A and B are shown apart, each in its own frame.
Chain A
Amino acid sequence: MNNKKPLNYVRTLRRRWALTQKELADLLGFENRACISRIEQDKRIPSLESALALEVLFGVAPRAMFPRVYAETEEEVMRMALHLYEATFHSSSLQQQRKRQALDLALKRATKSSEAKGV
C-alpha cells in the first residue's frame, strides 16, 4: 500500500464481479497479473486498447473508470486550447472563427463538468 489515493475503479469493478487479477490479466491479454496490479494502484496508465477492453468487459467508459487521468488530460488540453484561442483571437477569417467555435464548445463542456464536480 505505497500509493496514495488510487483514483481509478479497476480494482472496484474487478472485485465487484469476483474476478481475480490473473483472470482479468488473461481477459485483457496481459502476460501476468502484475500489469493489472500496477493499473489498479495508479502506477501505470493503461493503453487505449486496454482501456477499451475494460469498457467492453465492465460497460464503464474510460472517462468514468479513470477520473483522475481524465481530469488531468482535460486540464492540459484546456490550457493548450486557451493558447490557441488567444493566438487566433484577432483573426476574422472563417477558418479561425470555426476553430474558435470548437474551442468555445470544448471550454463549455469542461466548465460544465467542473461545475458538476463542484470545482
Chain B
Amino acid sequence: MNDAIDRQFVLAVYPSSHGFAFVLFERPDAPFDWGMKQIRKRNKNAQTLEWIKKLVDRYEPEVLVFEAPSAKSKRTDRIVRLYRMLTHFAIIEQLSVSRYTRAEVRSCFATVGASTKYEIARVIANQIPAFMHRLPPVRKIWMSEDPRQSLFDAAALGIAHYARKDQGLV
C-alpha cells in the first residue's frame, strides 16, 4: 500500500451476458478496485465500452487485459465484437493490451491444481481475501452461471497477466 503515487495499474475486464466485471490491480495480490456492472439496455457493447472508458479515465491504467477468444471459444458474436472494439479503444487511448486465451489462463493456475472455473475462483479467493465473500457456490449442471463468477474470471485474467510477466512472456 506504500508509495502508491507511482503505482502502475492493470485493468482486467471480463464481459458476460449480464454486463461486465472488472478488477483493477495494483499488484497481483492487491486489487485497488473491482466490481460488476449490469448492462441490460440495448446496444450492450457501446454501453460496456462507455463504462470501461470511464474506468480508464479515472484510474489511467497502464495495461488493459481481456480474453482472447480461441477458435474453440463459445463466446457470442457480440462479445467477440466487443473485444475488437476494446482493441481499437486501447489503441486510441494508447494503452498496452494483453490478451489471454482461456487455455493460457488455465495453464497459469494449473501449477496450484486448479483447472475448472470454480477451482480457479477458489484459488483467487484464497489469494485475495477481499473476494472471499463473493465466491459463488459450486455450479451444478442444471444451474446457469452465477454473475459473480465474472468477477473471478476478470481477476484470473489479471493474475495470469502478472504470472506471464514474471515469466518474461509479456
Question: Is A68 touching B33 in the complex (CB atoms < 8 A)?
Answer: no
Is A46 among interface residues, defined by CB-CB distance under 8 A?
no
Q: Which of B5, B58, B130 has the most CB of A within 10 A?
A: B5
**What chain A residues lie within 8 Å of B133 (beta carbons)?**
18
* A47 on interface, CB distance cutoff 8 Å: no
Q: Which residue of A lies closest to B26 (CB)?
A: A12
- Name the contact of A68 in the complex, choosing from B5, B59, B60 (C-beta under 8 A): B5
The residue on A at minimum CB distance from B134 is A18
Min CB–CB distance A109 → chain B (angstroms):
14
Question: Which of A2-10, A24-32, A82-90 contacts its partner?
Answer: A2-10
Q: How far is the CA of A1 from the CA of B58 in the complex (A)?
A: 7
Closest residue on chain A to residue B128 by CB atoms:
A16
B1-37 CB mask vs A (1 if < 8 Å, else 0) is: 1111110000000000000000000000001111000
**Chain A residue with the shortest CB-CB distance to B59:** A5
> Given the complex of chains A and B, what is the CA–CA distance between A7 and B6 in angstroms?
10
Known contacts: A60-B1, A117-B6. The answer to whether A12 contacts B33 by CB under 8 A is yes
**How far, in angstroms, from A78 to B46 measured CA to CA in the complex?**
48
Collect the chain A residues with CB atoms within 8 Å of residue B55's CB. Answer: 1
Chain B residues, CB < 8 A from A11: 33
Min CB–CB distance A13 → chain B (angstroms): 9
Looking at the assembled complex, report how far the CB atom of A10 sits from the nearest CB atom of chain B, in whole angstroms.
11
Q: Which of B5, B34, B60, B130 is A67 in contact with, Cβ under 8 Å?
A: B5
Number of residues in B with C-beta < 8 Å to the partner?
Answer: 19
- In the complex, what's the smallest C-beta–C-beta distance from A37 to chain B, in angstroms? 14
Is B54 an interface residue, CB under 8 A from the partner? yes
A18-B133, A119-B6 given; A64·B33 CB < 8 A: no
Interface 1/0 per residue, A63-85 and B, CB below 8 Å: 01101100100000000000000
- Say yes or no: is A44 at the interface (Cβ < 8 Å to chain B): no
**B2, A67: Cβ atoms closer than 8 Å:** yes
* Chain B nearest CB, measured from A79 CB (Å): 17
Q: Which residues of A contact B (CB under 8 A)?
A: 1, 3-7, 9, 11-12, 15-18, 60, 64-65, 67-68, 71, 113, 116-119
B-side interface residues toward A, CB under 8 Å?
1-6, 31-34, 54-55, 57-60, 129-130, 133
Could you list 12 examples of A-B contacts with CB < 8 Å? A4-B57, A4-B58, A5-B59, A7-B5, A12-B33, A15-B33, A18-B133, A65-B1, A67-B2, A67-B3, A117-B3, A119-B6
List 14 extra interface pairs beyond A9-B4, A9-B32, A67-B3, CB under 8 A.
A1-B54, A1-B57, A4-B57, A4-B60, A5-B60, A6-B58, A9-B1, A12-B33, A15-B34, A16-B130, A65-B1, A67-B1, A71-B5, A117-B5
